[in-house]
Structure 1
């Protein structure tokens, strides 16, 4: 009941192409020299220089979407802003809630500059996994996952966030718990699973099974699904199983690198791949993801990659997409 009501409020469900941002943490750490403990970008909200860097980052992608005549879905820099990670970073519960609210407020400032009826901006409260994000070695039952993520989701529900995005989910139970937390707060939620090089979740589940199970156990509550932190060449094997479940996938935020999660964990230098090739690979995936319309980057990507993706999927003549389709008609850090 609540899901149907909230779906009407999310403009990206109409089929227009929406850009997201890129590899926030990799851009901040590798390109701008920020130190991000535990790969947490929300800690930058504490200092003026960090807030300015975050504002400039999101403003860049909101402006890019506006210039292309596209919408934008901006994810708050709160992928690590949950209880366990925050505790290791010295945040108590009140400070953590304030950080999540401050992240939404920052994106609201960006939205005020670029939002328009033709280029709407959606603010998504980003939640990440309780664990590492590359491994599924410590798994919670769905009920425990609901309880774990509820505080962060509730904070977003009391803010200007339009929805919640649960990114880099490595196993179905945590995704189901995040959805249950969102339902309890009457917030729309998108679930973004991550994939290994074989196209399976780190838990070993197939993407099809993960989506079908999450829908079955939550009454189809997620507004849509996404894939993040995997190269398009890792995504394609996951989509070989045909069926209407693929139409539930609206978003893709791919890595620039073809490396596995284990290889990325060990990498000392950034692998930024080939931006133009990445854009072409998004275009090629459109046949397998007919509703893909929320697109951006993840590990190793920056404005060059998102620009290339926009050019590939945007409607002609400026882009490669067919005219009149709003880019990719209805087809994600994240760890980065």
Structure 2
């Protein structure tokens, strides 16, 4: 029986969860592991690969536990949807095996590190059908629901606590993922990515995209978040918007302030300044107490997560923290 599916603890008043850092960029640039199509799910196919993932998530879960914070524990499945796994050569059996294996690995990590003071929630990660930065093909909401249901229905039959849709860049795909999650009886958090002007790649404001999903679904998502964007990319006055203030509970920041296009075309890793990023997210938390999930994305590593956690603890808030 999924431990927290009926009541996600990151929704509790005063909670604060960390996520891990940038899984794919850490593996590629820091550990020198080749990731075809940027797909960390490839490591789920071998014992050696699973050991690498387990070590990565153990580091982050241990950091949250040391700080007395909660942890949102992702599955390594951002690229494990049907189109990307087909490019990787998976058949239907392997597609199912890899997605289920990701949750089994997360559950093993949770069993090691969870304490009464550091709750660990398993997030079944769903990524965009196409590119996370550029809208190369735009689905209708129903097309997206039909497509993502293959992966979401699998996760519903595991110990995963909720669906975490990351790096979504237009509202129709978010609506489709929400429909599929609702049909499967899974809580869902939708995380949009924004450009340097604070808007989605579709041109929608964060408030507009959230409202589109909520209106279609009857406010079904447990919460919304922003990931794969630096704090300086958030639109000026964004937190003054009532929709954003009520519905955005998570922020997973890139280490670099560079644009998505610049990062996509770079052969080197820009890891920014971990302490500065930690302070920036801590300041945002102090100003916006509804933010209960803080963590990292591209270019971040354990240093950034520890800095974010220290800043959260220093804020004096009651916390449970998670890292991506």
Return the TM-score normalized by structure 2.
Answer: 0.95
Match of 2:206 in 1: 207
Partner residue of 2:315 out of 321, 327, 334? 321
1:154-193 mapped onto 2 (5 Å cutoff): 154-193=153-192
Alignment check: 8 A CA contact 1:45 1:103 kept: yes
* Structure 2 CA distance for aligned equivalents of residues 194 and 237 of structure 1: 16
* Structure 2 CA distance for aligned equivalents of residues 275 and 219 of structure 1: 39
Deviations 1:121-162 (A, max 9, x none): 100100000011001231100000000000100110000101
Return the offset for 1:92. 1.2
- SS of aligned partner of 1:237: coil
Match of 1:250 in 2: 249
Match of 1:9 in 2: 7
Match of 1:93 in 2: 92
Q: Which runs of 4+ in 1 moved over 4 A?
A: none
* Structure 2 CA distance for aligned equivalents of residues 75 and 7 of structure 1: 14
Return the offset for 1:252. 0.7
For structure 1, which segment, 180-189 or 10-19, has the greater mean C-alpha deviation from structure 2 after superposition? 10-19
Alignment check: 8 A CA contact 2:164 2:190 kept: yes
Alignment check: 8 A CA contact 1:192 1:226 kept: yes
- SS of aligned partner of 2:236: helix
Deviations 1:153-188 (A, max 9, x none): 011000010101000000000000000000000000
- For structure 2, list consecutive stretches of 5 or more residues without a partner in the other structure: none
1:1-336 mapped onto 2 (5 Å cutoff): 8-14=6-12, 15-237=14-236, 239=238, 241-286=240-285, 289-314=288-313, 320-322=314-316, 325-327=317-319
* Structure 2 CA distance for aligned equivalents of residues 45 and 212 of structure 1: 36
* Structure 2 CA distance for aligned equivalents of residues 131 and 237 of structure 1: 29
Return the offset for 1:280. 1.0
- For structure 1, list consecutive stretches of 5 or more residues without a partner in the other structure: 1-5, 315-319
Return the offset for 1:240. 5.3
- SS of aligned partner of 1:279: helix
Return the offset for 1:287. 5.3
Alignment check: 8 A CA contact 1:75 1:125 kept: yes
Return the offset for 1:254. 0.4
Closer, same or farther: CA 62–124 of 1 in aligned 2, 3 Å? same
Alignment check: 8 A CA contact 1:7 1:188 kept: yes
* Structure 1 CA distance for aligned equivalents of residues 247 and 286 of structure 2: 14
Q: How many pairs does the alignment contain?
A: 319
